[in-house]
């Protein structure tokens, strides 16, 4: 059997390891409900460009591929192994990997230290010792592994096939999927996502360093339950944040949360105060929860930098206008009155209501005046008085479908035009999701897709938009 | 022409006025895009049980009803007038209403003091003076009016036809619709909703007093931009809150928000500090935004009172479990460890993982053990250690539709059983809305409907559930 070239040493070169030329799925299964089936199927579906070797002594073939009784029986070289076998078999697997010259093993295999049991924790340590001895790097154990669409790797069927500017490291595979899907409906795509579970070998510092150096990754997101190498992580963070924003959500901020991280990824989450101070000092951006993490990723990936807080807002009726003003102000943005030149321009076109229109521009005042809220937004885009813009598609409209669709289409055109012609950050709030009729939900979903395609960030509520924009500005003020 | 019996005096008896025997829509229109058309159509659609008289000098009939050139031409008595005519005609209309013995006028008609213009404000004052002279009460102007499904009144097509336990007063018609719809998708229904715009005559104090006395209304919601009778409102609030929870969202909390309330409903929103102190002293519950207002209405309408904070949580994988623990703790709930007797019961049924399961109970640990997260929730429901329960259907599940549907169905059965057999508050988080595939969204929508029918409150995120439950407990601690 051909032995492949040995890969990198203990630290680094994850870049090469995460782009394997051949992959074996050990513990492959014909049962479509198992991850051992899915990994094989996903490599085919996402178009992995190299040999895929299912390994299972009880199968002769799987999804049209020949199946091997063990890793050793595979004819060609294997760069990367995905392990779906029970924990009892992992030590033998590492020995086989050493024989085959495998550089990287991802252990979907779980039930190690996270069970809280001593024998399982001891097995995990032995696994690490053997892998180190053979210079094999490990992802996990107890994790869902790699999503790297450019290289045909995925861990779920419903993740996008296209690549994008965001890299993500996540101790939780479930959260990784929720983040990729949630950001995905807003049009955002990912360069690579690494779910790394118990962080036995490859840890948060390795992954941050790796994504920091990845040319495809412009923004980094992280869901972390506990750090393995605190000082190195902090140092790396300080090096990365001036060039790439790093958005971090910490799981295990509270005592019951820390109890939960222990049974999830055996993480010993440290003091929340120390953690927050560390993030602040390294100029990373802390997210309060999963939804805010997604909001921030979309914001940082797409908006041009700004340090100004003077916001112009347009769209929506009276209630949403009041809410927009309150919530933007509460988030630290400055909702300035309309400047005189814009008031003058509105006076020319809507003499009956001009002195009644303000910022936020209330769409219901402008109905049937020959000027719309989005026209006011265009004026704001051209005025030096405004630093950033928010289009408010929070609808409380009483209109019939075809009429509302026409109004939204006009708004969309205006937003796209502003995106093309202005260098100011533009965000759009699409808030009509809770309690809307199905046709309206569908219409807004379509709108969101169109805005996402133009890389205009959308948010499900004004409060979330205002908070994300405010954090974005803070970051640029600190890093200017 | 028969002159109807005069109704009540200046104050009170809104109960009778809001249940008119006959209604005229003045400014009725054949153009289906106008509110003048919709009010007539809605009275027919929602089954108003009395004569409906469209008034428009240019129409002979509308929607099969004879149309009258003026109010005076209507043959029978008219209790209630909905005005959709321009502001210039309102004074004459009031005189005609006086002749006809009308007791209540709702002015959808707008462009009064909210325009910021002196002549419009003066006209509004004259309108009030004349109405007072004739003992006619006014709703509005500049508002969408009444939604009172039991009496066949609505202002939008897409509001439920069934009645429920929540009364709502709202200065914004758009917000009123968003609240009824948003709470509606979670299964909550309303007794009556009054959108009252500029509050020229009937104001927040009148409406609070009215809903406080309404036997059908068990919980009161309010969206208020400015108070007209601050002292009376405060006194009424103090009288109502010991018997009925009152949840208040204040619009115009900030300076730009106050600017926006002026052009919306001509409201002079007072100091935010004074307002918050007043709500606290009267033991009302302050909502931070529209979504929180909806969360609180659902919570207060359906959950049995509790003063205990010890919460049991079950469902979801590792990431959501950590998030649930953190967010419940951060909201002030106590996520206690599993008590010994429950640990013992789990040991009997799932000996391989029993010591690994905690609170929150992580569904992914329990997979294929013969015991599910919802079984743990049932144990929590029976244990005296827990005061309240949260089922977590925040899915990060990798399962195929049919499998996930079966799992959810089992969870649903367990929740329904707990609702029937336990006196503890039970809340369910259905968080799979952002970024989910269409089939999953549909499945969760259906689940939400089934839970709503059983009067189990649902929330779109753990954070929102935890905050609402915590506010609910605070209220009962203050009012025990």
C-beta atoms of A321 and B260 within 8 A: yes
With contact defined as beta carbons under 8 Å apart, do A93 and A123 qualify?
Answer: no
Q: Which chain B residues touch A257 with a CB distance below 8 Å? A: 322-323, 325-326, 329
Pair type for strands A219-224 and A163-170: parallel
pLDDT tens readout for residues A21-77: 999 999 999 999 899 999 999 999 999 999 999 999 999 999 999 999 999 999 999
Is A203 buried (19+), middle (13-18) or exposed (0-12) by CB count in 10 A? buried
Residue B247 C-alpha, separation from nearest chain A C-alpha, in angstroms: 17
Give the C-alpha separation, B143 to B199, whole Å: 9
**DSSP SS3 for B412:** helix
Q: Which chain B residues touch A114 with a CB distance below 8 Å? A: 356
pLDDT bracket for residue A442 (50, 70, 90): confident
pLDDT tens readout for residues A347-386: 999 988 888 899 999 988 888 888 999 999 999 999 999 9
With contact defined as beta carbons under 8 Å apart, do A223 and B320 qualify?
Answer: no
Structure confidence at residue B434 (pLDDT): 64
Among candidate residues A160, A186, A202, the one with its CA nearest the CA of residue A13: A202
Structure confidence at residue B440 (pLDDT): 78
pLDDT bracket for residue A11 (50, 70, 90): very low
Residue A445 C-alpha, separation from nearest chain B C-alpha, in angstroms: 10
A1: pLDDT strictly greater than 60: no
Strand pairing partners for A476?
none
Q: Give the ipTM.
A: 0.90
C-beta atoms of B291 and A434 within 8 A: yes
Give the C-alpha separation, A53 to A57, whole Å: 12
CA A270, A271, A276, A279 torsion-angle sign: negative
Structure confidence at residue B2 (pLDDT): 41
With contact defined as beta carbons under 8 Å apart, do B194 and B170 qualify?
Answer: yes
Residue from B326, B393, B462 whose CB has the most chain A CBs within 10 Å, to mutate: B326
Cα nearest neighbour of A396 on chain B: B174
Among candidate residues A290, A288, A295, the one with its CA nearest the CA of residue A458: A295
**DSSP SS3 for A382:** helix
Give the C-alpha separation, A464 to A256, whole Å: 26
Q: What angle do CA A147, A231, A94 make, to 5 degrees?
A: 45
With contact defined as beta carbons under 8 Å apart, do A204 and A267 qualify?
Answer: no
Range from A268-272, A278-282, B284-288 carrying the lowest mean pLDDT: A268-272
A vs B: CB pairs below 8 A: 226
Percent of chain A surpassing pLDDT 70:
95
From the list A251, A328, A403, the residue facing B33 with the nearest CB is: A403
pLDDT bracket for residue A433 (50, 70, 90): low
Structure confidence at residue B5 (pLDDT): 42
C-beta atoms of A326 and B434 within 8 A: no
Residue from B88, B199, B257, B319 whose CB has the most chain A CBs within 10 Å, to mutate: B319
Farthest-apart Cα atoms in chain B, separation: 86
Contacts of B34 (CB under 8 A, 6+ apart): B84
From the list A175, A255, A463, the residue facing B289 with the nearest CB is: A463
Question: Could you tell me the two tokens for A130?
Answer: 């053997």
Residue A460: cis peptide before it, omega within 30 degrees of 0? no
C-beta atoms of B323 and A290 within 8 A: yes
Question: Could you tell me the two tokens for B334?
Answer: 């106590």
- H/E element, B313: strand B311-314
Cα nearest neighbour of A432 on chain B: B178
From the list A158, A253, A318, the residue facing B326 with the nearest CB is: A253
Residue from B147, B322, B368 whose CB has the most chain A CBs within 10 Å, to mutate: B322
Alpha helix positions (H), A311-369? 318-330, 340-349, 363-366
Cα nearest neighbour of A449 on chain B: B435
Q: Which residue has the tokens 């909502």?
A: B287
From the list B175, B353, B357, the residue facing A396 with the nearest CB is: B175
Structure confidence at residue A7 (pLDDT): 42
Instruction: Record the pTM.
Output: 0.92
C-beta atoms of A437 and B158 within 8 A: yes
C-beta atoms of B259 and A461 within 8 A: no
Question: Could you tell me the two tokens for A224?
Answer: 């972390």
Percent of chain A surpassing pLDDT 90:
81
Order of strands across the sheet with B219-224?
Answer: B145-147, B190-195, B163-170, B219-224, B246-250, B285-287
Pair type for strands B458-459 and A137-139: unpaired
Q: Which chain B residues touch A115 with a CB distance below 8 Å? A: 353, 355-356
Structure confidence at residue B397 (pLDDT): 66
Give the C-alpha separation, B370 to B367, whole Å: 8
With contact defined as beta carbons under 8 Å apart, do A383 and A341 qualify?
Answer: yes
C-beta atoms of A319 and B251 within 8 A: yes
Q: What is the dihedral of CA A443, A444, A445, A448, to 10 degrees?
A: 130
pLDDT tens readout for residues A115-168: 999 999 999 999 999 999 999 999 999 999 999 999 999 999 989 999 999 999
Structure confidence at residue A4 (pLDDT): 42
A263: pLDDT strictly greater than 80: yes
**pLDDT under 50: residue ranges of chain B:** 1-12
Structure confidence at residue B270 (pLDDT): 73
With contact defined as beta carbons under 8 Å apart, do A372 and A366 qualify?
Answer: yes
Pair type for strands A80-83 and A23-26: parallel
C-beta atoms of B263 and A359 within 8 A: no
Structure confidence at residue B140 (pLDDT): 96
C-beta atoms of B260 and A324 within 8 A: yes
Domains of chain B from N-terminus onward = 14-139 (3.40.50.720), 145-302 (3.40.50.261), 311-478 (3.40.50.261)
Cα nearest neighbour of A460 on chain B: B434
Of A3 and A387, the one with more pLDDT: A387
Q: Which chain B residues touch A433 with a CB distance below 8 Å? A: 433
Strand pairing partners for A52?
A23
C-beta atoms of A319 and B175 within 8 A: yes
- H/E element, A2: none
């Amino acid at each position: 059997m051909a032995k492949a070239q040995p890969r990198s040493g203990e630290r680094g070169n994850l870049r090469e390891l995460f782009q394997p030329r051949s992959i074996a799925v050990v513990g492959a299964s014909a049962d479509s409900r198992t991850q051992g089936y899915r990994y094989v199927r996903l490599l085919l579906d996402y178009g992995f460009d190299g040999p895929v070797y299912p390994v299972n002594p009880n199968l002769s073939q799987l999804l049209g591929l020949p199946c091997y009784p063990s890793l050793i029986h595979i004819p060609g070289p294997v760069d990367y192994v995905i392990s779906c076998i029970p924990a009892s078999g992992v030590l033998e697997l590492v020995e086989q990997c050493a024989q085959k010259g495998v550089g990287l093993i991802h252990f979907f295999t779980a039930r190690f230290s996270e069970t809280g049991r001593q024998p399982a924790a001891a097995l995990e340590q032995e696994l690490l010792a053997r892998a180190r001895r053979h210079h094999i790097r490990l992802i996990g154990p107890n994790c869902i592994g790699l999503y790297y669409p450019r290289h045909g790797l995925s861990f779920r069927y419903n993740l996008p096939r296209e690549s994008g500017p965001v890299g993500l490291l996540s101790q939780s595979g479930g959260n990784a999927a929720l983040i990729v899907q949630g950001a995905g409906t807003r049009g955002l795509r990912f360069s690579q996502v690494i779910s790394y579970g118990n962080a036995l070998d490859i840890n948060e510092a390795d992954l941050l360093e790796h994504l920091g150096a990845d040319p495809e990754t412009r923004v980094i997101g992280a869901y972390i339950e506990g750090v393995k190498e605190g000082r190195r992580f902090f140092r790396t963070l300080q090096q990365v944040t001036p060039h790439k924003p790093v958005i971090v959500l910490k799981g295990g901020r509270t005592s019951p949360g820390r109890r939960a991280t222990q049974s999830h990824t055996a993480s010993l989450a440290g003091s929340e105060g120390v953690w927050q101070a560390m993030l602040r000092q390294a100029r990373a951006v802390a997210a309060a929860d999963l939804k805010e993490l997604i909001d921030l990723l979309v914001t940082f990936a797409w908006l041009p930098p700004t340090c100004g807080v003077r916001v112009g807002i347009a769209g929506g009726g009276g209630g949403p206008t009041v809410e927009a003003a309150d919530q933007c102000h509460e988030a630290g943005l400055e909702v300035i009155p309309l400047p005189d030149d814009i008031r003058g321009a509105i006076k020319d076109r809507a003499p009956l209501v001009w002195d009644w229109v303000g910022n936020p521009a209330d769409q219901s005042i402008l109905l049937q005046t020959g000027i719309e809220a989005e026209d006011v937004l265009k004026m704001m885009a051209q005025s030096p008085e405004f630093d950033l813009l928010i289009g408010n598609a929070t609808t409380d409209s009483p209109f019939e479908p075809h009429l509302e669709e026409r109004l939204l289409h006009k708004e969309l055109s205006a937003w796209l035009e502003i995106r093309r012609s202005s260098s100011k950050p533009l965000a759009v709030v699409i808030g009509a999701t809770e309690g809307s009729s199905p046709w309206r939900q569908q219409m807004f979903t379509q709108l969101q897709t169109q805005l996402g395609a133009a890389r205009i960030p959308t948010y499900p509520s004004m409060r979330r938009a205002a908070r994300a924009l405010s954090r974005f500005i803070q970051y640029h003020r600190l890093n200017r």
